Structure 1
Amino acid sequence: MSTPPLSMSYIHLMVVLIWALNTMAAAQSGLEMTQTGGSVRNRKQRDISCRENLEYPHDNICCLNCPAGKYVKAYCTGALEKGTCEDCDLDTYTEHDNGLRQCLKCTKCRSDQVTTKTCTITQNTECQCKPGYFCAPDQACEVCKKCSRCKDNEVSVKNCTTTFNTVCETRLPTSSTISGKTPGPVFLIVVAVLGITAALAGVYWMRRKPFKRTDTQNNPSATLKVVVDDQNNRSIEERQNNQNAVLDDTQLYPLLEQTQAENDLIKLVPLNGDESLKKSFELFEELDVHYHNRFFRHIGLSDNAIKSTVHLHPEDRVYELLKVWLEKVGMEADMNDLIKALHYFGQRLSAENIISKAIENGYYEYAENEK
């Protein structure tokens, strides 16, 4: 019996349908490959696991790292091979074996830091804060901080380093304060006797002083600072200042002679007007602490102004009193007057150091006709 024509048509229809489905599947697969850009390959690339610190992945294989001081100039072409490694250029480095395509840039120390180790191709630059400044290691060191100074009633138990600030503690009370005992009668008598003796010596010295002053009249080279005090026109404070100034001058035997050498000092000219003078105040920190009161009286400050800063650290005290002097003198304030005052008290070395630093820092220069 022959197969009916209808059955043959059915078979042909099924073949055509299967062929069409296969064609569509192939086209869809090709479309997905095109849209993903080879995602199959990418998935394999991501699935590669190379040995840490020994290899790096490239093109579905693991290449061996380049050594420290070098970088990968060209990738490897086979698994477990090393590509082309090239030395780092100037001011660049790599500290460890790596698969980097370029070296890292060397760090540049900031202006408030000093370089402790120079950068090489295998080690980065190492920096630390300048002396007198610190930066805590547990904080981001964006800027170095100035070391603290202990107060007058404190003592330093740990000096400032580049990584830790000064550590201060309050001074321990004296044994007499701890015991709480009041001074005995013998102690009070001794103190009273010493006080009376000092008072009598002071009276004797004050009475004898005018006779010493007349002796200078026989010596034409000696010059004495004479204080004119009109009690009707001057305040009590001014009269006291004058008396203290005379006492200071009489204690400075070699400094009473104002020679022509003081007038021959090299004059300084500011490069930035008033700013030059203000910035130079910090240079006077080296002034001998024993001359503080006499120096500031000499340049015209009152005893009250001087005593108002007695609680400050000596360096801070000098800076504050110079600011008071600047406010008082105003437009007439001159660096040369401060230098003359230093010479008046025999502080020539300090004067030379201050002049040298003022010129080095660009605050002042020598007057044109004085160079």
Structure 2
Amino acid sequence: MSTPPLSMSYIHLMVVLIWALNTMAAAQSGLEMTQTGGSIRNRKQRDISCRENLEYPHDNICCLNCPAGKYVKAYCTGALEKGTCEDCDLDTYTEHDNGLRQCLKCTKCRSDQVTTKTCTITQNTECQCKPGYFCAPDQACEVCKKCSRCKDNEVSVKNCTTTFNTVCETRLPTSSTISGKTPGPVFLIVVAVLGITAALAGVYWMRRKPFKRTDTQNNPSATLKVVVDDQNNRSIEERQNNQNAVLDDTQLYPLLEQTQAENDLIKLVPLNGDESLKKSFELFEELDVHYHNRFFRHIGLSDNAIKSTVHLHPEDRVYELLKVWLEKVGMEADMNDLIKALNYLGQRLSAENIISKAIKNGYYEYAENEK
């Protein structure tokens, strides 16, 4: 009969113990909520990482990116939502999906650059160095550098581009440069024949020289005949050009006979039509500046055309005047005529160097019967 009271006391003790444990658990939970700002949800969201290139974080949630060409005008209010996206303004852009609050400003090309692609809302401006200048891609392009020119004892093996400088190599000996290979028996025979021909021409001219002077002195009007005959049909400028041409021919007349045989031997054939001739113009930069006026008069340019380029750099002047010559001559323009003009003026070394470069660069080749 004493068992029931003991059982009731045991049950009462268990109830008190359970109540005490629940009170302690509630207190601990309240402490944790206080330390985390009162929200377990906030602690978990703080650990969320947004997917790269797809989302961006805002207030502990991930918003979806705006597309290229737009920016975020207003953030999203819920996770995995897209906020308000707005188009980029003029002269601004975004190239990729983004969470930017404003678009990027378009690049402005510098004064030493040209624009190759204009800026759009999805692409920045693209710039490159002006012709005649370069900037290596592995260097910070703060300023474009002027392209180098090969020295007198060098030849260009690679022209300057917007990203690479000119590449030069030391010039090969002249005897092997023209043929492009080690001189053979045939080449040596040709050189010997040319040398003998030149020597005979020199002796022949020396013997005739006194008679030429006597003829000119006895008949001074002979050198003026060209001008007098054309006075009724030609302009003052043309008559003056004729007088200058007569002067040049009088001073250089011996060279005509000396190089006549050489002019007949040199024949070049273009590999790319008119383009071969145009590309070869840059090779004439090495022409001695003292021979510029004589050279261009000899190929038929007027004094006015020659004087109009006197303000240019000598190398640029040669290139511009050759373009004037090409426009004047048209379809009859021939590289061989320019080479003959150089030989006529006694600029044989320049002629040989130009021929060598023209062949090495793939602009010309020797005619079949000249190889």
Shorter-chain TM range is 0.3 to 0.5
| Mapped contact 1:271–1:362 kept (Cα < 8 A) | yes
SS of the counterpart of 2:336? helix
Q: For each residue in 1:149-185, what CA deviation from the matched residue of structure 2 results, as whole angstroms up to 9, or x when unmatched?
A: 2333333332222111222222445788999999999
Aligned length: 371
- Corresponding position: 1:304 with 2:304: yes
Q: For each residue in 1:175-213, what CA deviation from the matched residue of structure 2 results, as whole angstroms up to 9, or x when unmatched?
A: 889999999999999988865764553354356456556
Q: Structure 1 stretches of 5 or more lacking a match?
A: none
Give the Cα separation in 1 of the matches to 2:90 and 2:72: 16
Give the Cα separation in 1 of the matches to 2:105 and 2:142: 19
Give the Cα separation in 2 of the matches to 1:64 and 1:264: 79
> 1:118 deviation in Å?
1.0
Q: Residue 76 and residue 9 in structure 1: after superposition, are their counterparts in 2 closer, same or farther (change >3 A)?
A: same
SS of the counterpart of 1:264? helix
> 1:103 deviation in Å?
0.4
RCO higher in 1 or 2 (8 Å CA, sep ≥ 6)? 2
Q: For each residue in 1:315-336, what CA deviation from the matched residue of structure 2 results, as whole angstroms up to 9, or x when unmatched?
A: 3999999999999999999999
Q: For each residue in 1:206-251, what CA deviation from the matched residue of structure 2 results, as whole angstroms up to 9, or x when unmatched?
A: 5645655666689888777999999999999999999999984416
Give the Cα separation in 2 of the matches to 1:109 and 1:211: 68
| Mapped contact 1:225–1:246 kept (Cα < 8 A) | no
Q: Residue 54 and residue 367 in structure 1: after superposition, are their counterparts in 2 closer, same or farther (change >3 A)?
A: same
Give the Cα separation in 1 of the matches to 2:194 and 2:337: 41
The 10-residue stretch of structure 1 (301-310 or 29-38) with the greater mean CA deviation from structure 2: 301-310
Higher helix share: 2
Give the Cα separation in 2 of the matches to 1:334 and 1:189: 28
The 10-residue stretch of structure 1 (236-245 or 201-210) with the greater mean CA deviation from structure 2: 236-245
The 10-residue stretch of structure 1 (265-274 or 248-257) with the greater mean CA deviation from structure 2: 265-274
Give the Cα separation in 1 of the matches to 2:175 and 2:269: 55
- Corresponding position: 1:176 with 2:188: no
| Mapped contact 1:223–1:258 kept (Cα < 8 A) | no
| Mapped contact 2:109–2:127 kept (Cα < 8 A) | yes
Q: For each residue in 1:45-99, what CA deviation from the matched residue of structure 2 results, as whole angstroms up to 9, or x when unmatched?
A: 8644211111111122111111000001111111111111100011100000111
Query: What is aligned with 1:35?
Result: 35
| Mapped contact 1:268–1:336 kept (Cα < 8 A) | yes
Give the Cα separation in 2 of the matches to 1:351 and 1:96: 57
Q: Residue 252 and residue 190 in structure 1: after superposition, are their counterparts in 2 closer, same or farther (change >3 A)?
A: closer
The 10-residue stretch of structure 1 (253-262 or 282-291) with the greater mean CA deviation from structure 2: 253-262
Q: For each residue in 1:278-306, what CA deviation from the matched residue of structure 2 results, as whole angstroms up to 9, or x when unmatched?
A: 99999996989793385899999999999
Give the Cα separation in 2 of the matches to 1:197 and 1:255: 13
> 1:123 deviation in Å?
0.5
> 1:23 deviation in Å?
20
Q: Residue 239 and residue 218 in structure 1: after superposition, are their counterparts in 2 closer, same or farther (change >3 A)?
A: closer
Give the Cα separation in 2 of the matches to 1:240 and 1:195: 37
Q: Residue 280 and residue 49 in structure 1: after superposition, are their counterparts in 2 closer, same or farther (change >3 A)?
A: same
| Mapped contact 2:300–2:325 kept (Cα < 8 A) | yes
| Mapped contact 2:287–2:350 kept (Cα < 8 A) | yes
Query: What is aligned with 1:189?
Result: 189
Give the Cα separation in 1 of the matches to 2:194 and 2:267: 49
> 1:113 deviation in Å?
1.3
RMSD after superposition? 17.1
| Mapped contact 2:73–2:85 kept (Cα < 8 A) | yes
The 10-residue stretch of structure 1 (34-43 or 196-205) with the greater mean CA deviation from structure 2: 34-43
Query: What is aligned with 2:354?
Result: 354
SS of the counterpart of 1:269? strand
Q: Residue 348 and residue 38 in structure 1: after superposition, are their counterparts in 2 closer, same or farther (change >3 A)?
A: farther
Give the Cα separation in 1 of the matches to 2:357 and 2:158: 30
The 10-residue stretch of structure 1 (29-38 or 56-65) with the greater mean CA deviation from structure 2: 29-38
Q: Quote the sequence identity (%).
A: 99
The 10-residue stretch of structure 1 (337-346 or 265-274) with the greater mean CA deviation from structure 2: 265-274
| Mapped contact 1:93–1:104 kept (Cα < 8 A) | yes
SS of the counterpart of 1:227? helix
| Mapped contact 2:76–2:82 kept (Cα < 8 A) | yes
| Mapped contact 2:223–2:246 kept (Cα < 8 A) | no
| Mapped contact 1:137–1:163 kept (Cα < 8 A) | yes
Give the Cα separation in 2 of the matches to 1:179 and 1:348: 16
| Mapped contact 1:152–1:313 kept (Cα < 8 A) | no
Give the Cα separation in 1 of the matches to 2:173 and 2:269: 51
Q: Residue 15 and residue 269 in structure 1: after superposition, are their counterparts in 2 closer, same or farther (change >3 A)?
A: farther
Q: Residue 18 and residue 95 in structure 1: after superposition, are their counterparts in 2 closer, same or farther (change >3 A)?
A: same
The 10-residue stretch of structure 1 (48-57 or 320-329) with the greater mean CA deviation from structure 2: 320-329
| Mapped contact 2:117–2:126 kept (Cα < 8 A) | yes
The 10-residue stretch of structure 1 (106-115 or 35-44) with the greater mean CA deviation from structure 2: 35-44
| Mapped contact 1:73–1:83 kept (Cα < 8 A) | yes
SS of the counterpart of 1:180? coil
Q: Residue 256 and residue 140 in structure 1: after superposition, are their counterparts in 2 closer, same or farther (change >3 A)?
A: same
| Mapped contact 2:114–2:129 kept (Cα < 8 A) | yes
Q: Residue 300 and residue 193 in structure 1: after superposition, are their counterparts in 2 closer, same or farther (change >3 A)?
A: closer
> 1:347 deviation in Å?
17
The 10-residue stretch of structure 1 (306-315 or 156-165) with the greater mean CA deviation from structure 2: 306-315
| Mapped contact 1:93–1:124 kept (Cα < 8 A) | yes
> 1:3 deviation in Å?
34
| Mapped contact 1:151–1:313 kept (Cα < 8 A) | no
SS of the counterpart of 2:131? coil
Q: Residue 27 and residue 339 in structure 1: after superposition, are their counterparts in 2 closer, same or farther (change >3 A)?
A: farther
